[in-house]
Amino acid sequence: MPLPLEGVKVLEFTQRLYGPRAGVHLAEMGADSIKIEVPEGGDPIRGFMNPSYGGDLPRTGKLNYMFEMENHDKRSITLNLKNPQGQEIAHKLIKQSDVFLTNFQPDSLRRIKMDYDTLSQINPRLIYAIGSGWGIIGPDKDRPGYDFVAFAASGLMQTMGQPGSPPVCCRPGMGDHFTSVMLAYAIMVALYYREKSGVGQMVHVGLLAGLIEGGVAALASHLATGQEIERVDRRSADNAFWNFYEVKGGDWIQFAMPNSDQYWDAICRTLAIEQCRNDKRFDIQAHRRENTKEFIQILDKAMLAHTRSEWEALLKPSGLVYGWVDSYAQLAKNPQVRANDWIVDFDHPTVGKVPIVGVLPQLSKTPGKIRKPSPGLGEHNHEILQDLGYSKADVAKFKENGAIG
């Protein structure tokens, strides 16, 4: 069975996380993705040196997990896009591409003749997909941006943390990955429309837009009421069962029951708080809300009665809605995660079997697949140039003139 995007040709000029991750979503579904990189070092993530990720380049010793996650199932060509011959090669690739994907700034792209106006003239059916920090119009369109600062601007950061404490930021990359899904979605919608109309177009998603999507529920509440979203102290949470608790042994559990009245019988029985069942302070959710601090103190004590494994045995058959506050080490070993192939063991040709994030969207008849590792820098130069009709002499001249790496 062919993969769903088999036959779709994607030309990427992306770097770091946001753009490359959007490309991975397409490549996993079968798109033929060619990644243009600058000859001098390529994508900066290739040099991402952090002991927690294991090293430098994916084909020289230990695996660069960051680069691998964002760039598997792609081919790499090194082009100097400031060089007219490098531009010529890129434009020839554009003629046969369905999608051009980039997260460079529009002004930079104009200078190297990779802007929308130029490329859409070369290929009117092209889907030109651009990811930005702040959008491509408006007063901040030329500002550089990372997801870290977009997260700060999105309103989310101000809602996190304890009341009266400094804001709490996300882990770097969260916004990149949220927004990459939106950009891949926009590309596929545009491809579908092109199949009906024959017309290409530009699609765009800013990092700030992706993080606005992440906070739509809170933003909707503000737009409806005009009130700021207040931070919640777990010791006085409005709903004691939309809250988290420590258990014996130091683990934490999160409950998520917006209407706890429908679970009240199972709550009293499972958590061994039968004394609360008919207590007029706690017998219905409205009363529990009025006496929430006192009730949370009762739950704090009750939850410390058992360890995680003991609570799991009690809670799993109860029908209560809960989840454990896990570390990434625990997530990586979670049998539910492994059963769904959300983390898989990939047989890498140089470092052997390694765990990596799997193909997260799952299709029953045409599932995506991780087929090959991330490319070495310029690994496919000769193959790609030969496919374009260039001879070995042409390639040698391009290299001599600095058009390719």
| Ordered per-residue pLDDT tens for the chain, 405 residues | 899 999 999 999 999 999 999 999 999 999 999 999 999 999 999 987 544 444 444 444 578 889 999 999 999 999 999 999 999 999 999 999 999 999 999 999 999 999 999 999 999 999 999 999 999 999 999 999 999 999 999 999 999 999 999 998 888 899 999 999 999 999 999 999 999 999 999 999 999 999 999 999 999 999 999 999 999 999 999 999 999 999 999 999 999 999 999 999 999 999 999 999 999 999 999 999 999 999 999 999 999 999 999 999 999 999 999 999 999 999 999 999 999 999 999 999 988 999 999 999 999 999 999 999 999 999 999 999 999 999 999 999 999 999 999
pLDDT score for 337: 98
- 208/286 same-domain check: no
CA separation (Å) from 195 to 25, 183, 230, 326? 20, 19, 47, 44
Helix (H) or strand (E) holding 208: helix 207-214
Same domain, 35 and 177: yes
Assess if residue 330 is contained within a domain. Answer: no
97 vs 116: CA distance, rounded Å = 14
Q: Is residue 152 domain-shared with residue 262, that is, in the same domain?
A: no
Burial 160-189 (b: 16+ CB within 10 A, else e): eeeeeeeeeebeebbbbbbbbbbbbebbbe
Please check whether residues 129 and 191 belong to one and the same domain: yes
Asked if residue 358 is part of any domain, the answer here is yes
Non-local (6+) Cβ contacts of 333 within 8 A are none
Query: Are residues 259 and 130 located together in one domain of the fold?
Result: no
Per-residue burial over 17-48, b if 16 or more Cβ lie within 10 Å, else e, is bbbbbbbbbbbbbbbbbbbbbbbeebbebbeb
For residues 276 and 159, state if they share a domain: no
Please, which residues bridge with residue 348 across strands?
A: 352
Q: How many domains does the chain have?
A: 2
Domain boundary pick from 325, 355, 377: 325
> 66 and 198 in one domain?
yes
Residue 228 belongs to some domain of the structure: no
| CATH number of the domain encompassing residue 240 | 3.30.1540.10
The reported pLDDT for the residue numbered 55 is: 40
pLDDT of residue 57: 40
d(CA 281, CA 291): 6
Looking at the domain assignment, is residue 229 inside a domain?
A: no
Final residue in a domain of this structure, among 304, 325, 346: 325
301 and 171 in a common domain: no
30 domain-assigned: yes
Q: Is residue 223 part of a domain?
A: no
Q: CA triplet 6, 9, 10: central angle to 5 degrees?
A: 120
Same domain for 320 and 348: no
Do 349 and 318 lie in a common domain? no
Are 289 and 346 contained in the same domain?
no
Give the CATH number, domain containing residue 343. 3.40.50.10540
* Whether residue 47 is found in the same domain as residue 194: yes
Give the DSSP per-residue string, 359-387: --S--SSS-----SPPPPTTTTHHHHHHH
- For residues 206 and 140, give the distance between their C-alpha atoms in angstroms, rounded to a whole number: 11
The Cα 381–Cα 34 span in angstroms is 10
Per-residue pLDDT at 51: 45
Q: Give me the pLDDT at residue 350, please.
A: 87
Q: Domain range spanning residue 244? A: 234-325
Give 356's Cβ-side CA count (13 Å radius): 25
Last residue within a domain, chosen from 325, 352, 380: 325
- What's residue 1's pLDDT? 85
Q: pLDDT (tens digit, 9 = 90+) per residue, 254-310? A: 999 999 999 999 999 999 999 999 999 999 999 999 999 999 999 999 999 999 999
